[in-house]
């Protein structure tokens, strides 16, 4: 059976010393290394091999010192090795467990809304009125990517800053998260989210691992959905 069934996510396998790997730009660099073997429609970032931290910096558009520090840290932790095929992640299951465990440490900055008319009409207005980029997130992203195990309970989006959208101009009525038909999040790690987002039917959507991070805390089927995504990502990584 699939590997993800045999080795489920365990937040306890997320040692504190690994947390420095999960700063915003480190998350982006990890996605570049982790997801480059994903299907074309699920990853819009670089797909090549990287034979040095300098190459990684160039293609991932970060500074060379940043890439060198990240590569050295991952190598020291046993999550990365250098070889004839370039930089390759190792112990990927443990790395993803540590990453998912790190995500559970943070309180979410989220706001709930009810659309005056419909989700779709409000989404069109949100895209028009927002002063920064919107991306589909969570279960909504899983559905858009064709990777859902359950229907999204609400439309979920990431917005760089809450101040970049006036809810009234998008026909949105504020409400509790429990009653929300639309949930907007202001992410703690925006670069890793917006740099890695993929186009889908005219809207950008978070990458598959970000979707796992988004849904993991959800009490209803969040763990199941995160496990499914984690398993698929392992399959793509193994196929390289």
Mean pLDDT of 208-230: 91
| pLDDT at residue number 19 | 56
How many CA atoms, within 13 angstroms, populate the side-chain half-sphere of residue 170?
Answer: 24
Average pLDDT, the chain: 88
pLDDT at 89: 93
Does 152 score more than 70 pLDDT?
yes
β-partners of residue 114 are: 173
The alpha-carbon radius of gyration of the chain (Å, integer) is 18
Average confidence (pLDDT) over 72-101: 91
Return the bridge partners of 184, or none.
111, 157
pLDDT beyond 90 at 225: yes
Which pLDDT band holds residue 240 (cuts at 50, 70, 90)?
low
pTM above threshold 0.85:
yes
Q: What DSSP state is assigned to residue 164? A: G
- Reported as a single tens digit per residue, the pLDDT across 107-126 is 889 999 999 999 999 999 99
> Does residue 238 surpass a pLDDT of 50?
yes
Report d(CA 76, CA 71) in Å as an integer: 9
Query: Is residue 183 over pLDDT 70?
Result: yes
Please give the share of the chain, as a percent, with pLDDT higher than 70. Answer: 91
Q: Which residue has the tokens 């420095």?
A: 20
Distance (Å, whole) CA 10 – CA 101: 8
- The label of the residue with tokens 């064709």 reads 146
- Rounded Cα distance, 18 and 210, in Å: 18
Beta bridge partners, 204, equal: 135, 199
Q: Are 92 and 235 in contact (CB under 8 A)?
A: no
Residues 6+ apart with CB under 8 A from 40: none
Comparing 202 with 168, the larger pLDDT belongs to 168
* pLDDT given for residue 147 in this prediction: 95
Q: pLDDT by residue (tens digit) across 2-58? A: 433 334 444 444 444 455 789 999 999 999 999 998 999 999 999 999 999 999 999
Q: Distance of alpha carbon 106 from its chain centroid, rounded? A: 15
- pLDDT recorded at residue 100: 87
């Amino acid at each position: 059976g699939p590997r993800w069934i045999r080795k489920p996510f365990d937040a306890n396998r997320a040692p504190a010393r690994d947390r420095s790997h999960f700063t915003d730009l480190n998350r982006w660099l990890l996605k570049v290394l982790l997801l480059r073997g994903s299907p074309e429609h699920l990853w819009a970032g670089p797909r090549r091999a990287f034979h040095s931290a300098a190459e990684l910096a160039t293609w991932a558009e970060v500074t060379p010192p940043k890439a060198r520090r990240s590569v050295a840290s991952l190598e020291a932790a046993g999550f990365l090795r250098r070889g004839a095929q370039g930089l390759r992640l190792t112990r990927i299951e443990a790395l993803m467990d540590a990453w998912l465990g790190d995500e559970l440490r943070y309180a979410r900055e989220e706001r709930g809304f009810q659309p005056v008319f419909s989700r779709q009409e409000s989404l069109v207005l949100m895209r028009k009125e927002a002063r920064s980029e919107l991306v589909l997130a969570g279960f909504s992203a899983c559905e858009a990517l064709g990777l859902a195990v359950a229907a999204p309970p609400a439309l979920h989006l990431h917005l760089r800053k809450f101040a970049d959208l006036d809810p009234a101009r998008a026909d949105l009525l504020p409400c509790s998260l429990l009653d929300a038909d639309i949930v907007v999040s202001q992410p703690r790690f925006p670069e890793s989210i917006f740099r890695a987002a993929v186009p889908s039917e005219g809207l950008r959507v978070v990458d598959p691992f970000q979707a796992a991070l988004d849904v993991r805390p959800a009490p209803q089927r969040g763990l199941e959905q995160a496990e499914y995504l984690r398993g698929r990502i392992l399959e793509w990584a193994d196929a390289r």
